[in-house]
Amino acid sequence: MALIVHKYGGTSMGSTERIANVAKRVAKWARAGHQMVVVPSAMSGETNRLLGLAKELAPARQDASYLRELDMLASTGEQVSVGLLAIALQAEGVPAVSYAGWQVPIKTSNAYTKARIDSIDDRKVRADLAAGKVVIITGFQGVDAGGNVTTLGRGGSDTSAVAVAAALKADECLIYTDVDGVYTTDPRVVPEARRLQTVSFEEMLEMASLGSKVLQIRSVEFAGKYKVPMRVLSSFTPWDIDINEEAKSGTLITFEEDEQMEQAVVSGIAFNRDEAKISVLGVPDTPGIAFQILGAVADANIEVDVIIQNLSKDGKTDFSFTVHRNDYARAMDLLKEKVLPALGAAEVVGDTRICKVSIVGIGMRSHVGVASKMFRVLAEEGINIQMISTSEIKTSVVIDEKYMELAVRALHRAFGLDQASA
């Protein structure tokens, strides 16, 4: 008997028919003798519907009194889900009880719409589990010290599930999603991509931050911090699939560097084309330049990813960075109108037709020459590298977006990730 946390996304909860299937799946786990906690998202489309109503009433603002009301509103979506799922489980003959975030309580900071979980009281949940009940807890939300409802931001239900699993010291947190695991790269780009049986949480963290949509990055951070074994698996298997088979499906995110993981130097190839490159040319090479440029960008609430400063030449340097494409126009305007005049820089140039490709692998720590192999593979394909950024377990390059598929496929093959080579 184990204590298991299941998390179901909005698609899995998208209709009463699907909720009934979730209930049947959870009931199967409960009948197998496990103590079950379930964290469902709002029914798909519901959060957007609610926030859409708010937008019809007033333009969005950033003050706390407005954001507080958005959280009051948006948090109802998950409350509906937990009530319905409890009813569906009871209809299966399985005792079940639902809790909103404030009832557990899941205590958070008071940063409305993007709160952080501070603590989770496990007493009610443990008492219910001991009484043989399935406990269903709203994802995405909590309550601050003042008793106000808070939400964790988009995708926060993954984080809720992992946090609940950590608080309960659950044996495993199963994230049911619309993919059947974590792949060496996107199978739509590389048909030879393989599903990973296991992936280290650090690799998962890099893949998530590099645009892999499988898991919300905060949930992976949380899992890492509290060493919660976490499995990503498909919610599209039939609910009555054999439980032992289901328990081994998907991808397990682990915290122990076992031998299997040591074998592969590179675990996956991540990529995204959501970014745009901006270069400030002819910047006087004096202390504080980076802050002057990036400080202004940060003040405008624009997130910066890769940052490169070239070697200085004649007291001038070039400074490049990438931002999300949605922020590109705003960042360019800001730099041209405010930063450039203040800096006395020569020019700002930008390029939205770039992509970022990364190799990720915990084995890179102990293997030299991995980055240079990446550069060689790209050179052999005639792909010019525009920017390079490295961390302990990943190497990223920014290239022309037209070469993205070519680069990903070549690297996938070169690092032995193709199915044939497995």
List residues near a copy of itself by CB under 8 A.
Answer: 16, 19-20, 23, 50, 53-54, 56-59, 61, 65-66, 68-70, 72-73, 75-76, 79-80, 82-84, 86-88, 90-91, 95-98, 100, 102-103, 147-149
CA–CA distance, 300 with 345 (Å, rounded to integer): 20
Smallest separation, CB 283 to a copy of itself (Å): 42
Nearer to a copy of itself by C-beta: 98 or 272? 98
Place of tokens 């992976």: 220
Nearer to a copy of itself by C-beta: 67 or 364? 67
Smallest separation, CB 29 to a copy of itself (Å): 19
Residue 394 has φ and ψ, to the nearest 5°, of -155, 155
Nearer to a copy of itself by C-beta: 63 or 245? 63
Smallest separation, CB 420 to a copy of itself (Å): 46
Alpha helices in 32-170 (DSSP H): 46-57, 64-74, 76-91, 123-130, 156-167
CA angle (201, 11, 168) in 5-degree steps: 45
DSSP string across 128-140: HHHTT-EEEE-SS
Smallest separation, CB 102 to a copy of itself (Å): 7
CA distances from 5 to 109, 163, 167, 212, 412 (A): 24, 10, 11, 23, 33
Cβ atoms of residues 418 and 412 within 8 Å? yes
Nearer to a copy of itself by C-beta: 41 or 75? 75
Nearer to a copy of itself by C-beta: 42 or 414? 42
Smallest separation, CB 66 to a copy of itself (Å): 6
Half-sphere exposure for 317 (CA within 13 Å, toward CB)? 15
Nearer to a copy of itself by C-beta: 56 or 259? 56
Smallest separation, CB 12 to a copy of itself (Å): 15
Q: Please enumerate in sequence order all residues whose Cβ is within 8 A of that of 130, keeping only pairs 6 or more positions apart, or say none.
A: none
Smallest separation, CB 233 to a copy of itself (Å): 24
Q: 294: closest CA among 282, 303, 281?
A: 303
Nearer to a copy of itself by C-beta: 127 or 346? 127
First to last CA, the chain: 34
